[in-house]
């Protein structure tokens, strides 16, 4: 991915040389043509087309914001309810993510989702231990959310 | 136009303050350290975030001054506060702070004591 961005910036620089115009709009136009060039020649360049990853990262960011809002609605509801009926517990969640970077991102996301908080990660990076504030209604819904998170993170990193 | 923006900014500040207040209620009301950490790491983050965003918008529209430091502050709070919550409850669990009696399940017990934790306890 870094390699593709480097190629793109070099194409933009070449464009500025060709136009003999050293301004930001010129760089932008050159960058745009470089993007199309890489899209056309992606068979010869290793890795996925990097712009699709940037779009996936944008999607992940909005997922982040939406989950933060939902989590807060849920926490406020739990706190302000006159009778405290929570059933906290700790459950284990196996994950397919491999690198430290992916797992860090996943645990950040889980911490900001409704009713869950990462407590520990097993030594072989395969299981996340998560504290849930409401076990019964959490179990099914949470594993669904986790699948969508893991997919969204894999879209970005692989 | 400016009136709408002013009202919007006012609502953001009020929401942020309200969320911080509710976080305080949560800290007082929830039964054990783990549940309290839920309140502290989620609603406190969003509360501070909303107040900072409101300050950013206010100086942008009133003084035409875009404060990059506030944006950085928002990003830093966003990234660090869940990690702080995670570290706190992890430390609490490994120093044998008990779960609330209403807790229904504890899978972390099965993990056993890892070597690092054992060393930490011995030292």
pLDDT, tens digit, 9 for 90 and up, residues B43-74:
888 889 899 999 999 988 888 888 888 999 98
- Contacts B80 to A, Cβ<8 Å: none
| Average pLDDT score, chain A | 83
pLDDT at B102: 60
Token pair listed for B37: 């950490």
Q: Is B26 helix (H, G, I), strand (E, B) or coil?
A: helix
pLDDT at B16: 92
* CA atoms within 13 Å, Cβ hemisphere of B40: 19
**Residue B11 confidence (pLDDT) above 90:** yes
Token pair listed for A79: 């706190």
Question: Cβ of A101 under 8 Å from any chain B Cβ?
Answer: no
Based on the number of CB atoms within 10 Å of its own CB, is B61 exposed (0-12), middle (13-18) or buried (19 or more)?
Answer: middle
**Residue A142 confidence (pLDDT) above 60:** yes
pLDDT bin (cut points 50, 70, 90) of residue A50 is confident
Cβ distance of A80 and B22 shorter than 8 Å: yes
Token pair listed for A134: 């409401």
ipTM score of complex: 0.73
Contact B86, A117 (CB under 8 A): yes
Q: Would you tell me how many other CB atoms lie within 10 Å of the CB of residue B47?
A: 21
Considering just the CA atoms, what is the radius of gyration of chain A in Å?
22
Cβ distance of A87 and B30 shorter than 8 Å: no
Residue ranges in chain B assigned as alpha helix (H): 2-29, 33-63, 68-94, 115-122
- Contacts B105 to A, Cβ<8 Å: 89-91, 135
Question: Cβ of A73 under 8 Å from any chain B Cβ?
Answer: no
Question: Cβ of B84 under 8 Å from any chain A Cβ?
Answer: no
What would the pLDDT profile of A98-137 be if each residue is shown by its tens digit? 888 888 888 888 888 777 888 888 878 788 888 887 777 6
Q: Kindly state the helix (H) or strand (E) to which residue A89 belongs, with its residue range.
A: strand A89-94
* pTM for this model (two decimals): 0.77
């Amino acid at each position: 991915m870094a390699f593709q961005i480097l190629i793109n910036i070099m194409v933009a620089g070449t464009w500025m040389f060709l136009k003999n115009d050293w301004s930001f709009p010129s760089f932008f136009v050159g960058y745009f043509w470089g993007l199309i060039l890489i899209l056309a020649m992606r068979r010869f360049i290793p890795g996925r087309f990097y712009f699709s990853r940037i779009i996936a990262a944008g999607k992940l960011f909005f997922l982040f914001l939406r989950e933060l809002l939902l989590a807060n609605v849920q926490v406020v509801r739990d706190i302000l309810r006159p009778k405290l009926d929570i059933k906290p517990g700790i459950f284990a969640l196996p994950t397919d993510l491999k690198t430290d970077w992916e797992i860090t991102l996943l645990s950040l996301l889980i911490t900001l989702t409704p009713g869950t908080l990462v407590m520990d990660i097993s030594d072989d990076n395969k299981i996340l231990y998560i504290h849930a504030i409401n076990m019964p209604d959490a179990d099914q819904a949470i594993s669904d959310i986790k699948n969508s998170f893991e997919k969204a993170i894999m879209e970005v990193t692989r | 136009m400016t009136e709408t923006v002013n009202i919007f900014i006012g609502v953001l500040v009020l929401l942020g303050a309200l969320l911080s207040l509710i976080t305080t209620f949560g800290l007082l009301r929830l039964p054990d350290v783990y549940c309290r950490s839920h309140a502290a790491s989620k609603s406190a983050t969003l509360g501070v975030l909303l107040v900072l965003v409101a300050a950013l918008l206010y100086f942008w529209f009133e003084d035409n001054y875009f404060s990059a430091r506030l944006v950085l502050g928002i990003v830093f709070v966003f990234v660090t506060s869940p990690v702080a919550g995670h570290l706190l409850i992890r430390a609490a669990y490994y120093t044998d702070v008990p779960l609330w009696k209403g807790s229904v399940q504890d899978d972390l017990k099965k993990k056993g004591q890892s070597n690092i934790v054992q060393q930490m306890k011995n030292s």
